Amino acid sequence: MYFFRFFCLAATFLALSGCARNVSEPEGSGDAGIETGTLPEPSPGALPGRVFVKFKKEQDKESLDAYAHIGHFRRMYPDAGIYEARHREAGLHLWYVVTFDESVPLTKAGMQVSELQDVDILEYDLPVKFHQSTVFPFNDPGLSRQWHYHNDGSIQGTIAGSDIRLLDAWLLETGKPDVIVAVHDGGIQYNHPDLEGNMWMNRAEAEGAPGVDDDKNGYVDDIYGYCFYSETVGGAIHPDNHGTHIAGTIAACNNNESGGAGIAGGNGTPDSGVRLMSVCTSGGDDTKGAYLQQGFVYAADNGAVLINCSWSIPEATSTPLFLKEAIDYFNRYAGLDDKGKQRGPMAGGVAFFAAGNENRDNKEYPAMDDNVVAVASIGANYHKAYYSSYGEWVDIAAPGGDVQQGHQVYSTITGGNYGNMQGTSMACPHVTGVAALAVSYFGGPGFTREQLIRLLTETTNPVIEEYNTSYAGQLGSGLVDASACLGVTLDAPASVQSLSGKSRSNYIDLEWIVPGASRADIPYSYDVYYSLSPLNDVAGNDVRKISVPGGKHAAGESMAVTLSNLELNKDYHIRILSRSMLDKVSAPSPEIVINTLDNKPPVVEALDGTSITLKAFQSGALRFKVSDPDGHPLTCSLEGATAGISHTFADGIVTVSFDALSLEDGKSYQLLLRVSDSHDSVDTPIGCQILKNHAPVAVKEMDNQVIQGIGESLTLDLSGYFSDEDAEPLTYSARNLGTQTVAACTIEGDRLHLKGSSYGNSSLEITAMDARKNKALLTFLILVRDGSREVEIYPNPVESTLYLRTGSGQNASLVLSNKSGAVLFRESSAAMGPFAPYAIDMRDYTAGSYYLKVNGVVYTVIKK
């Protein structure tokens, strides 16, 4: 018995275990999904947003559309044309790429895809690592840390390309010693092992006597530069980390197996690398000032053509004039000798200023001035550094480090050491360094500061705009690009071959196609020459020229410009020359001859007629639509205008306005509207008549008013009392003529509102006035009384005269008796009213109580 039960139990367990389902096997026809346990886990480096799937059979469009809720499916290998057959033989047509939102976890997406029908293989995309490392041209061990020169994205958090593209630029230029760059900052450690080889040296002072101004430049012992620190002007340079770091970025010695590299630090040979001049303006104590302005003049007079200024004047709202003039001096005279001739690689100097680290768009002077190049800072991921100031005044951006992202700028510091720093102070020398390369590469007779600035700002990498959309237009023209800067062609651009024109009056509308077989050939700008004589020589006396910027037009696009202020009915000879960024000009285009036409006079159309009649209080206007068939700009004048008559001209409409109040009534005015273009005028007579004004008059007397209590009110329509023949709206005012104010008086339009404020009576004067200040007056009496009493008897006690007053005019019977009943006064019909009280003379009555019966109602009167 027990064994039977055990057997049944065991059989039950076995049956249940045999009935286990493979839960990963979906129901339905056909193979579906990947077998349980074969769904791969994405590896740590798997790229988000896509998986690769191989189906067991080719998928039709209908099926793929049904999978749209998972992602977008496309064939990994699209139709290969003549090779499609072998693609299919290899099974390549079965591979699909599935893309989806990167926020969806790969495991989830993978699970969804794996559950589809006919899925054979599911794999994740993986990054690849190129085994070949970046080839640096120099052996400086720290160069690989200087992502700001070359960023391959290998450092976590960086984006490849967020750099100044220096390696390609070095293929062309590494810096020449005739380019002197002043570092206007803390002092440079001039004997730093990685800087001493590129320090500028004043030979005369170095070889002269200490304490003597050997070169007679006004400064003593200025061997590597000069100290302009206010507390110790002159004397030794005070090296500090800030100035030394900046100097290293610009021109640390390259290829010396030491430290890092400098942008224009040469290639390791003795005659390579620009030279650094230390314009020391700091003694290490930020609370002390310096003669900043003298540093600029010193640098210009001693051969520097570039000057790096990684500082600003705290909270300044403008640059002091003494400093502005010094910077202007540097801009104008750097690179020139005392005769004004170019002696250095560039005529004129360029000052580079850090934009500031306040993350704001104001109070960053002198960087905000137009006479300097302002540099903003980005990090290693193209994003604006969190601290960098910004604004439309910024000219260019450069890497300056971003410690919040973990990346700073690596360069020299004092003590012969190297260190990391961040700031627009570090971004600025990147641009100065690239400028030093550009001057080294392009510099020479005729190379100007304008060309340098153009080279820097017109060759920038605009990619940072995509990463800084909220700072659009506020990080300069883009990220400094050393390679593109040096890649600007030295050749003349392509010349224009397709110049054409059409005239309208004395305008000529020119049009041409942008020439150029390659990007380097596209002109930077165009010089349009035109003359009444044949243009065999564009430098002739009667030849006029206009310059047209090339803008961002690509080759083959159309450009246009209009020549104006030409003579009528003349043949103009026109040619156009292309100009490169470095002012290389092409051969002139073929000459075209365009004949200007006659002038068509302006057209004047009176929209409201040419005359107007106004009443003495009115204003009005006449409008004229004016146009010029030739498109000439028009001017308008109004002759005969006086005060009260004016005109405006906007959007092709001349409006002549008349204000009758400012004009004499009963008079007519004759005017002349003259509309002129540059050659002709059209006169239109205009008439204006102002009718005679009529003063307002009072048409009836105003009734005296009674207000039956304090707080009670009444309203009068004043329009019924005054009239104006001109139908002019009148303004009203009220004036209290009495000694007390018994009612509050307000006027709204032509309604007078009275509200009792105290008992008593007064008189009001109402004035009606027209726009020309003519008046009519009416007065009336106003009484505020206690409306609850039929008869007011006052004063009581009485000394002499007793008054009886009612709210409305009436007659009453009066009987006055004393206490003993003797009738002392009787009146059968005493007339009384609010403004004409009845008076009883009680002067001769003895003191005592009296009883006045008014229409049968007895009032007690006390006689004093």
Partner 1 sequence: MKKSLLVCILSGLFPLFASGQQLPVACIATDAVPASLAGTSIGRPCGASAAEFNAAAMAMSGYRLESGLSYGNWAPSSADNRMLGVHAAYRIAPKLSIGLFGKQLKDRKAVLLTNENGVVTEEFIPRDMMLGVSASYCILPNLSVGLSGRYASSSLAPDNSPRAFGVDITAVFRKDGLMAGIGAGTLPSMARAGLSYTIAGLTAAVEADYSFSGNFMGAGSLEYGFKDLVFVRAGYRFGSAPIPSHLSLGLGVRYAGISLNAAYLTASETLGNTLAFGVGYSF
Q: Find the binder of partner 1 among 237, 792, 814, 830 (CB under 8 A).
A: 792
Q: How far is the CB of 818 from partner 1 (least distance, A)?
A: 5
User: Based on CB atoms, which residue is closest to partner 1, 568 or 815?
Assistant: 815
Question: Is residue 846 a contact residue for partner 1 (CB under 8 A)?
Answer: yes
Q: Residues 711-750: x/- map of binding to partner 1 (CB under 8 A)?
A: ----------------------------------------
Instruction: Cite the beta strand spans of 104-165 per DSSP E.
Output: 119-124
Please identify, among the stretches 123-131, 389-397, 516-524, 842-850, the one whose residues bind partner 1 according to the rule CB under 8 A.
842-850
Helices (H), 67-223: 84-89, 106-114, 166-170, 203-206
Q: Please say which residue, 318 or 740, places its beta carbon nearer to partner 1.
A: 740
Distance (Å, whole) CA 97 – CA 156: 27
37 phi, psi to nearest 5 deg:
90, -10
Separation between Cα atoms, residue 523 and residue 588, nearest integer Å? 13
Cα–Cα nearest to 815, from 804, 806, 828, 805: 828
Residue 438 vs residues 306, 493, 518: alpha-carbon distances, Å: 11, 19, 22
| Binders in 359-378 for partner 1, by CB under 8 A | none
Residues 168-207 that bind partner 1 (CB under 8 A): none
The CA distance from 421 to 400, in Å, is: 8
Specify the stretch interacting with partner 1 by CB under 8 A; choose among 260-268, 525-533, 690-698, 792-800: 792-800
Q: Does 545 bind partner 1 (CB under 8 A)?
A: no
Q: Is 78 one of the binding residues for partner 1 (CB under 8 A)?
A: no
Residue 519 or 819 having the CB closest to partner 1: 819
The tokens describing 377, both together, are 């800072």
Nearest distance, CB of residue 862 and partner 1, angstroms: 5
Minimum separation from the CB atom of position 863 to partner 1 (A) = 8
142 scored as a contact of partner 1 (CB under 8 A): no
Q: How far is the CB of 726 from partner 1 (least distance, A)?
A: 43
Site size toward partner 1 (CB under 8 A) is: 36
Which residue's CB is nearer to partner 1, number 644 or number 760?
Answer: 760
Least CB distance to partner 1 at residue 765 (A): 21
Return d(Cα 712, Cα 754) in angstroms, integer: 8
**CB of 715: closest distance to partner 1 in angstroms?**
24
Place of tokens 């392509």: 494
Q: For residue 284, what are its two tokens?
A: 């290490």
| Of the candidates 48, 65, 42, the residue with the CA atom closest to the CA atom of residue 116 | 65
Report in angstroms how near the CB of residue 720 gets to partner 1 at its nearest: 30
- The yes or no reply on residue 212 touching partner 1 (CB under 8 A) is no
User: In the sheet that 857-863 helps form, which strands lie side by side, from edge to edge?
Assistant: 823-832, 810-818, 848-854, 857-863
| Element containing residue 425 per DSSP (H, E) | helix 424-442
Indicate which single residue of 58, 683, 786, 790 sits in contact with partner 1 (rule: CB under 8 A): 786
| Integer Rg of the chain from CA | 49
State yes or no: residue 340 binds partner 1 (CB under 8 A).
Answer: no
Determine, following the binding rule CB under 8 A, whether residue 77 of this chain makes contact with partner 1. no
Report the alpha-carbon distance of residue 427 to residue 739 in Å, rounded: 82
Q: Are 62 and 20 in contact (CB under 8 A)?
A: no
First to last CA, the chain: 142
Out of 537, 819, 831, 857, the residue judged to bind partner 1 by CB under 8 A:
819
Residue 585 or 824 with smaller CB distance to partner 1: 824
Stretch near partner 1 under the rule CB under 8 A, chosen from 98-106, 330-338, 355-363, 754-762 = 754-762
For partner 1, the binding residue among 45, 640, 797, 809 (CB under 8 A) is 797
Looking at the Cβ atoms of 418 and 845, the one nearer to partner 1 is 845
Q: How far apart are CA 766 and CA 753, in angstroms?
A: 12
Nearest to 343 by CA among 178, 534, 498: 178
Q: Is 785 in the site for partner 1 (CB under 8 A)?
A: yes
Q: Identify the sign of the CA torsion 303, 308, 314, 318.
A: positive
Give the binding range for partner 1 (CB under 8 A) out of 126-134, 503-511, 730-738, 855-863.
855-863
Q: Is 781 in the site for partner 1 (CB under 8 A)?
A: no
Cα 287 from Cα 662, distance rounded (Å):
65
For residue 156, give both structure tokens. Answer: 């976590």
In the numeric block, which tokens belong to residue 118?
């006919």
Site for partner 1 in 653-712 (CB under 8 A): none
Q: Which two tokens stand for residue 49?
A: 């947003």
Q: Which stretch binds partner 1 (CB under 8 A): 486-494, 540-548, 685-693, 812-820?
A: 812-820
Are the beta carbons of 379 and 407 closer than 8 angstroms? yes
- In this structure, the strands spanning 95-99 and 72-75 are antiparallel
Give the residue with the Cβ less far from partner 1, 110 or 837: 837
Give the one residue of 21, 821, 828, 829 binding partner 1; rule: CB under 8 A: 821
Residue range at the interface with partner 1 (CB under 8 A); choices 137-145, 254-262, 275-283, 753-761: 753-761
Residue 93 touches partner 1, criterion: CB under 8 A: no
Sign (positive or negative) of CA dihedral 665, 670, 676, 682:
positive
* Window of 352-360, 484-492, 678-686, 782-790 that interacts with partner 1 by CB under 8 A: 782-790
Is 279 among the residues that bind partner 1 (CB under 8 A)?
Answer: no
- Shortest CB 849 distance to partner 1, Å: 5
Q: Which stretch binds partner 1 (CB under 8 A): 11-19, 332-340, 386-394, 788-796?
A: 788-796
DSSP state at residue 726: T
847 binds partner 1 (CB under 8 A): yes
Give the nearest distance from C-beta 853 to partner 1 in angstroms.
7
* Three-point CA angle 582, 343, 235, nearest 5°: 120
**Nearest to partner 1 of 169, 830 (CB atom):** 830
CB-count exposure of residue 778 (10 Å: 0-12, 13-18, 19+): middle
Decide: is 795 part of the binding site for partner 1 (CB under 8 A).
yes
835 binds partner 1 (CB under 8 A): no
Q: How far is the CB of 804 from partner 1 (least distance, A)?
A: 10
**How far is the CA of 704 from the CAs of 366, 438, 731, 741, 794, in angstroms?**
78, 97, 21, 16, 21
Asked if 822 touches partner 1 (CB under 8 A), the answer is yes
Minimum CB separation of residue 724 from partner 1 in Å reads 38
Indicate whether 761 belongs to the interface with partner 1 (CB under 8 A).
Answer: yes
Nearest to 546 by CA among 558, 563, 528, 532: 528
User: Applying CB under 8 A, does 623 fall inside the site for partner 1?
Assistant: no
Amino acid at 683: D
Stretch that binds partner 1, among 47-55, 260-268, 443-451, 797-805 (CB under 8 A): 797-805
Picking from 411, 401, 460, the residue whose alpha carbon sits closest to that of residue 434 is 460
Residue with tokens 């961002």: 552
419 vs 760 by CB, closer to partner 1:
760
Q: Is the peptide bond before 44 cis (omega within 30 degrees of 0)?
A: no
Query: Between 1 and 822, whose beta carbon lies closer to partner 1?
Result: 822
Identify which of 337, 354, 491, 476 has the alpha carbon closest to the alpha carbon of residue 423: 354
Min separation Cβ 807 and partner 1, Å: 11
Contact flag: residue 824 with partner 1 (CB under 8 A): yes
Regarding 853 and contact with partner 1 (CB under 8 A), the answer is: yes
Q: Report the candidate in 354, 355, 359, 407 with the shortest Cα–Cα distance to residue 382.
A: 407
Closest CB to partner 1 among 353 and 845? 845
Cα dist from 163 to 91, 130, 301, 376, 794, whole Å: 43, 20, 34, 14, 104
* Residue numbers at the binding site for partner 1 (CB under 8 A): 759-761, 785-786, 789, 792-797, 803, 805, 815, 817-824, 846-849, 851, 853, 858-864
